A and B are shown apart, each in its own frame.
Chain A
Amino acid sequence: MQSNQWTAARIGTLIGYAAASAALFAAPLYLSDFRLNLLAKFLAFAIVALGLDLIWGYTGILSLGHGVFFGLGGYAMAMYLKLKASGGHMPDFMDWSGLTALPWFWKPFESLGFAFAAGLLIPGLLALFLGYVTFRNRIRGVYFTILTQALVIITTTLLIGQQAYTGGTNGLTGFTKIAGYSISNPDTKQMLYWITAAFLIVAFALCRFLVKSRFGKVLRAIRDGENRVRFIGYNPAIYQMTAFAISGALAGLAGMLFVLHVGIISPSMLGIVPSIEMVLWVAIGGRGTMIGAVLGAVLMNWGKSEISAQYPDAWLFVMGALFVVVVVFLPNGVAGLLGRLSFIKRRVTDHDKEAVRNPAV
């Protein structure tokens, strides 16, 4: 049913994606270094948004704790960068806090490979564990959401309290080198931009594969009616855990890339407010569509940086107003608006397709 008749639409979509990817990779040609760095940060945010959309838009589970997974990834990368910046010595803040030797769990972060793996696996496994204790016991809806908020508070409190090991409120900063290259060099920055763009495309392709597969259909079925899914023989908890773990790992990946572009990670970057902001990107961009999540993250952050530059206090009001507008008028976000514009056209083609399929009708 799908394969043949969709070819025209499919080719169109593919061309669209190819053009978008080309525009992304060519960005250094038309953006200043400063703007390129901003865009790189937004693309990292877009990866969190993809993960959030997978769990919220497709599976119907609202997490207000993705800042934690993002932050864990960020800290993993920052620990590597900090050790490199300290040139084999103990990081400066540990000295100030009275530590005499590098703590054991810091040591493996000397390796970029380890840091990268940890930045994906730690958030992924934490999400898996949280999913295991909640979804299996059928804790969901607002109760699950409140738990994710609690996770944020626990994590930030721990990070701030354990100053000697985490850098406390200041977080980790003062990075110099990554894999031998100076991190402030424009060439390195450009390379890091490309790496981020490539990861975004990979993450996007992965999420698209997931939601288009039968697995994705089961996720949507869980969102529509968890019990019905159970009574046709699937165990929803396993599906929810898988989606949540992938979502957490994507947030970790985004956190790692974020640190590379911004040069700092601190508890305030993974707190309650950033966690909620991440959800707003998806809500405004359009949940339930992958492109909506990406657009939401990039446009919202672009708007934030533009508006904050002109009117420092206005952004929160604008964001609040946008959220209200989206909730009231555009339940499917910006992507839904785009879809609506092509609605009339699509309706006609749908009708034709029906006629072709069932000529007798």
Chain B
Amino acid sequence: MIKKPSAILQCEGITVSFDGFKAIQGMHLSLERSELRFLIGPNGAGKTTMLDVICGKTKPTSGKVVYNGIDGAGPIEITRKKEHQIAELGIGRKFQAPSVFPTLTVFENLEIAMRQRRSVFSTLFARMSAEDRERIDMQLSLIGLQNKASWRAGGLSHGEKQWLEIGIMLMQEPGLLLLDEPVAGMTDKETNKTGELLKEIVKSRTVVVVEHDMEFVRNFASKVTVMHEGRLLKEGTMDEVQSDDRVAEVYLGKRRDADVSRSTA
């Protein structure tokens, strides 16, 4: 592989096998700084597993992940690092099901997520400075929850929880954000709002979004990576990807198969 010096993340030859089943087979993924990348593919293509590998939830059987998101630190291999260490390096992960802390208030959710020293000692004696409060208030208005700061997160609607989780991640000030289907289960209105939020977020950081909603993906003029059966199938703009025969075959294949079978029947 050719090393790209500007790449913030470089995944090389990632293979993941679960009890012999190969969820990912020799996948390559390289992300530029401040890039918005969509990861698409049919069910079981290995998209979520790929995010799991990057954030350390799943350890790859082979291959390596190199992160270069910290100024002056140079590339760091994170393949074998623990989840919390990877998070500390600046890789944030949003899961498909909204996962916020239901018994903490919205404000407290953001407070503990805020970029800060994570040791027991530091959190024991942490004090809320005016600056911290300002950061949290800014985040609250960005995700549109400023009126619900004192609510318990468990009482928020599905969409609000998703935004809060995005807020939790942004408070960590990550260099790289991994979002797994951020608009799944949202109403059209909520989806639009999330789209706006995403456009705001990508201005200053690299974001990878796993998405099923093609309409949503089309809103963004950005690069798309198509995965199929654990492999890289195609990379390019949405138009390039859509005009690709192999992509059409695996992604929209069923419809075409059906057409073919209907025409031959």
Contact = CB atoms under 8 A, between A and B. Distances in A.
B113 interface: yes
Nearest to B136: A1
Contact of B147 (A223, A225, A235, A358): A358
Contact of A215 (B92, B99, B103, B120): B120
A133 interface: no
Interface stretch (B17-25, B32-40, B58-66, B81-89): B81-89
A221 B88 CA distance: 17
B87 A232 contact: yes
A354 interface: yes
B75 to A, nearest CB: 20
Interface residues on B, range: 35 or more
A195 to B, nearest CB: 27
Nearest to A228: B99
A350 B105 CA distance: 13
B126 A242 contact: no
Contacts of B201: none
Nearest to A5: B150
Given A220-B104, A225-B99, A1 B84 contact: no
A233 B84 contact: yes
B104 A233 contact: no
Contact of B123 (A214, A236, A353, A354): A214
A137 to B, nearest CB: 13
A interface majority secondary structure: helix
Interface string A236-255: 10110010000000000000
A233 B99 contact: no
Contact of A213 (B87, B113, B118, B125): B125
B93 interface: yes
A1 B113 contact: no
B166 interface: no
A312 B154 CA distance: 45
A215 B119 CA distance: 9
A230 B52 CA distance: 13
Interface in A267-300: none
B55 interface: yes
Contact of A217 (B95, B112, B125): B112
B12 interface: no
B120 A231 contact: no
A218 to B, nearest CB: 6
A214 B111 CA distance: 8
A77 B70 CA distance: 54
Contacts of B169: 232
B124 A220 contact: no
A218 B123 contact: yes
Contact of A235 (B92, B100, B104, B118): B118
A214 B112 contact: yes
A231 B87 contact: yes
Counting chain B CB atoms within 10 Å of each CB, which of A228, A239, A353 scores highest?
Answer: A228
Interface string A188-218: 0000000000000000000000100111011
B120 A242 contact: yes
Interface of A: 1, 210, 213-215, 217-218, 220-221, 223-225, 227-228, 230-236, 238-239, 242, 350, 353-354, 358, 361
**What are the 8 A-B residue pairs with the smallest beta carbon separation, nearest first?**
A233-B87, A224-B101, A214-B126, A215-B123, A214-B123, A233-B88, A215-B124, A221-B101
